[in-house]
Amino acid sequence: MNERKPKWLGDSRIKSLEEHVHSIENRIEALKIRYNQFFAGEIPTPPEKERETVEMLIRRLLSEEHRSARINLLVQNVASRFNLFNNRWLKQLHDLEVDLQPQKKPTERPAAPDHTHSPAGNAREVEVSLNREDSFEQLFSTYSNMMINPAISVEAKEKWINSLKAKMISANLVDARISIAREEGKLKIRLKK
């Protein structure tokens, strides 16, 4: 008579594999946050070592043979998710190295008298007026200088400025102060009276 292994041994292996896949998913999420912080300029170097470690763990998972179709599906999903992020990160790193936007390097900037710097140093305020088109150009210049990758088309720029004008009109404001601050790796824009 063949001696069968107890069922709980197989279940514990499946459970441990599921936990391992979920821990890799958590590492991918943490890695995504670290890359967002790098591209936002909050940390000085990209988390390459962590990316290579996660890549190695996924390769190892893919090379193993799993008995459960469910585990195979989980492994394929986590591998696809990592590959999607990994390709995006590598492309963004390449773009930063090649510096596809030569206009990004300022030669000489005119003094902007109505910019006020916050004590934190990561926020700017600009006074704008619906009666002065140049004030919106100055605001956009400040906004693009605070961006990590400031390459924006003329159409996108116009759309951005027009949406701010529409917000001012809907709030019945002719003159306003607009605050631009970096929070949690993103640029936040606030309209003040």
Bridge-based pairing of strands 116-117 and 123-129 is antiparallel
C-alpha–C-alpha distance, residues 111 and 117, integer Å: 13
Amino acid, res. 107 = T
Q: Enter the DSSP assignment of 186.
A: E
Give every CB contact of residue 62 below 8 A, 6+ residues apart in sequence.
Answer: 75, 79
Q: What is the pTM of this model?
A: 0.47
C-alpha–C-alpha distance, residues 22 and 28, integer Å: 10
pLDDT value of residue 11: 65
pLDDT value of residue 178: 85
pLDDT value of residue 10: 56
Contact in structure between 150 and 104 (CB atoms under 8 Å): yes
Closest CA to 58 of 32, 31, 85, 76: 76
CA atoms within 13 A on the CB side of 59: 6
Closest CA to 92 of 156, 47, 158, 123: 47
C-alpha–C-alpha distance, residues 17 and 68, integer Å: 10
- From first to last of the 193 residues of the chain, give the pLDDT tens digit: 444 444 444 567 777 888 999 999 999 999 999 999 988 888 888 899 999 999 999 999 888 876 678 888 889 999 999 999 999 888 888 887 776 544 444 444 444 444 444 444 578 888 888 788 888 888 888 877 777 666 677 777 788 787 778 777 777 778 888 888 877 767 777 777 7
